[in-house]
Amino acid sequence: MTATDARPTAGLIHKQLNPAARSATERAALMADPGFGRVHTDHMVVIRWTASDGWHDATLTAYQPLALDPAAMVLHYGQAIFEGLKAYRQANGTVAVFRPEENAARFNRSAQRLAMPELPTDLFLAAVDDLVATDLDWVPTAEGQSLYLRPFMIATEAQVGMRPAQEYLFLLIAFPVTPFFPGEVKPVTVWLSDDYVRAAIGGTGEAKCAGNYAGSLLAQRQAAEKGCDQVVWLDAVERRWVEEMGGMNLFFVRSGSAAGGARLMTPALTGTLLPGVVRDSLLALAPSLGLAVEEGRISVQEWRDGCADGTIGEVFACGTAAVIAPVGHVRSRQGDWVVGDGSAGEVTLRLRSALLDLQYGRVADPYGWMRPVG
Ligand SMILES: *Cc1c(COP(=O)(O)O)cnc(C)c1O
């Protein structure tokens, strides 16, 4: 589906506007320094699913706490999946969402893996369109800011027997966010985790499920104790192949030869990596910047050797929340090393600008990635 397709689903979602929506003054005060995920907008979307009636009662309503039975299955067996995507204020003042169709598709792949019901794509997109259009004034205009959208689904059936639930809630909430300060791109220091793994073949590594994050928190804490910002995950079997960084995918920049420019390599999707929308976008975008791309694999030793002999000049992580974050330093039990000179590299910054220019509507969108809303 492209951004210009008709919206046959208009009216799918019943609207009950929030009578206590915050004033323009209150909103401005909250948006002056929103941080990440602290300040929510005035509304949310709720859609209910039951085995007997399927998806029904789609409602846009006031942001409010949920009433959950203590036996709600999500609280016991963790059937919970989520997505993360952003709406950007465009250079011309309108608002557009970056590749929501991709998030809708991934949401359903996650649902399948967790034995949860799939949400029709038109309903997912209608929820995004309606919430962003209703809370349009919450889409920041400041440089580097955006409206972060968090769709998620939980098992609400009240019974503690062990099986897939028969009742679920889909919810969509939104937060204005400031992930970075304009002009500043601070490289991160990473810890290579060999005590803990994120995902194994046959597990849930490809699904965006809450449990993957619960299982990662101790490793992230260990990384912090080692003075690192983020954990880098290695493969579960050999603890040798580099997979991803925290909740972001990794790219390695091999320096160019006399014959050609730099080459980008990102670990291939083996089943244990989360297939990022930003990862996919960079694979599509890079060739237009004269950068060759490949999906491959890299061991810890190759990473270290490449940095030592200068063939790997830059490494960066990418994801919706932080867009692109350069990796400056690596720490592990086998030793520490620096990537390039430890600062953000030229290719990293060029890709970052190209993606941000597209997302903020400062350049044409030849891919049809931006979905106008409002
Ligand atoms: C969400 C996520 C990513 C990044 O995905 P994007 O769609 O690019 O935001 C990467 N790794 C993990 C583990 C994730 O959960």
C-alpha to C-alpha distance for 98 and 88, rounded to whole angstroms: 8
Could you tell me if residue 367 is inside a domain? no
Question: Residue 170's closest CA among 37, 370, 12, 277?
Answer: 12
Residues 152 and 224 placed together within one structural domain of the fold: no
Residues 164 and 202 placed together within one structural domain of the fold: no
Last residue of a domain, one of 151, 179, 207: 179
How many residues can be counted in the chain? 374
Residues 168 and 250 placed together within one structural domain of the fold: no
C-alpha to C-alpha distance for 205 and 231, rounded to whole angstroms: 15
Residues 193 and 338 placed together within one structural domain of the fold: yes
176: buried, middle or exposed (CB in 10 Å: 19+, 13-18, 0-12)? buried
Work out which ligand 1 atom sits closest to the CA atom of 205: 13
Could you tell me if residue 24 is inside a domain? yes
C-alpha to C-alpha distance for 339 and 245, rounded to whole angstroms: 15
Residue with tokens 């997302």: 359
Ligand 1 mean position, distance from CA 269 (Å)? 12
Q: Does ligand 1 have an atom closer than 6 angstroms to the CB of 193?
A: no
Task: Specify the pLDDT at position 213.
Answer: 97
Q: Global pTM? A: 0.95
Q: How many helices (H) and strands (E) does the chain have?
A: 8, 18
Q: Does ligand 1 have an atom closer than 6 angstroms to the CB of 244?
A: yes
- CATH code at position 133: 3.30.470.10
Q: Does ligand 1 have an atom closer than 6 angstroms to the CB of 325?
A: no
Task: Specify the pLDDT at position 1.
Answer: 38
Could you tell me if residue 35 is inside a domain? yes
Could you tell me if residue 368 is inside a domain? no
- CATH code at position 240: 3.20.10.10
Task: Specify the pLDDT at position 142.
Answer: 86
3-class DSSP assignment, residue 304: helix
Q: Does ligand 1 have an atom closer than 6 angstroms to the CB of 43?
A: no
Could you tell me if residue 105 is inside a domain? yes
Ligand 1 mean position, distance from CA 372 (Å)? 23
Could you tell me if residue 8 is inside a domain? no
9 phi/psi in degrees, rounded to 5: -95, 0
DSSP secondary-structure letter at 138? G
Ligand 1 mean position, distance from CA 72 (Å)? 27
Last residue of a domain, one of 129, 154, 179: 179
**Residue 185 near residue 345 (C-beta atoms within 8 A):** no
Domain count, the chain: 2
Ligand 1 mean position, distance from CA 275 (Å)? 7
Q: Does ligand 1 have an atom closer than 6 angstroms to the CB of 216?
A: no
Residues 144 and 219 placed together within one structural domain of the fold: no
Work out which ligand 1 atom sits closest to the CA atom of 277: 7
Q: Does ligand 1 have an atom closer than 6 angstroms to the CB of 84?
A: yes
Q: Whose CA is nearest to atom 2 of ligand 1?
A: 247
Task: Give the torsion through C-alpha atoms of 156, 162, 166, 169, to 10 deg.
Answer: 30
C-alpha to C-alpha distance for 191 and 245, rounded to whole angstroms: 9
Task: Specify the pLDDT at position 7.
Answer: 47
Residues 239 and 258 placed together within one structural domain of the fold: yes
Residues 311 and 166 placed together within one structural domain of the fold: no
**Residue 93 near residue 28 (C-beta atoms within 8 A):** no
Residues 198 and 288 placed together within one structural domain of the fold: yes
Ligand 1 mean position, distance from CA 249 (Å)? 7
**Residue 173 near residue 44 (C-beta atoms within 8 A):** yes
Task: Specify the pLDDT at position 180.
Answer: 61
Could you tell me if residue 235 is inside a domain? yes
Question: Residue 215's closest CA among 234, 196, 229?
Answer: 196
Task: Specify the pLDDT at position 183.
Answer: 61
Question: Residue 244's closest CA among 223, 214, 268, 264?
Answer: 268
Work out which ligand 1 atom sits closest to the CA atom of 208: 15
Residues 135 and 217 placed together within one structural domain of the fold: no
Residues 199 and 339 placed together within one structural domain of the fold: yes
Q: Whose CA is nearest to atom 15 of ligand 1?
A: 247
Q: Which of 248, 277, 351 has most ligand 1 atoms within 8 Å of its beta carbon, as the pocket-test mutant? A: 248
Q: Does ligand 1 have an atom closer than 6 angstroms to the CB of 246?
A: no
Q: Which of 99, 198, 320, 352 has most ligand 1 atoms within 8 Å of its beta carbon, as the pocket-test mutant? A: 320
C-alpha to C-alpha distance for 134 and 55, rounded to whole angstroms: 22
Residues 234 and 155 placed together within one structural domain of the fold: no
Per-residue confidence in pLDDT tens, the chain, 374 aa = 344 444 445 579 999 999 999 999 999 999 998 988 899 999 999 999 999 999 999 999 999 999 999 999 999 999 999 999 999 999 999 999 999 999 999 999 999 999 999 999 999 999 999 999 999 999 999 888 999 999 999 999 999 999 999 999 999 999 999 866 556 789 999 999 999 999 999 999 999 999 999 999 999 999 999 999 999 999 999 999 999 999 999 999 998 655 567 999 999 999 999 999 999 999 999 999 999 999 999 999 999 999 999 999 999 999 999 999 999 999 999 999 999 999 999 999 999 999 999 999 999 999 999 999 98
Last residue of a domain, one of 157, 179, 201: 179
Q: Does ligand 1 have an atom closer than 6 angstroms to the CB of 106?
A: no
Could you tell me if residue 266 is inside a domain? yes
Q: Whose CA is nearest to atom 14 of ligand 1?
A: 247
Q: Does ligand 1 have an atom closer than 6 angstroms to the CB of 89?
A: no
* Structural domain harbouring 332: 188-359
Work out which ligand 1 atom sits closest to the CA atom of 278: 8
Residues 81 and 150 placed together within one structural domain of the fold: yes
Distances (CA, A) of 320 to 87, 100, 281: 11, 12, 11
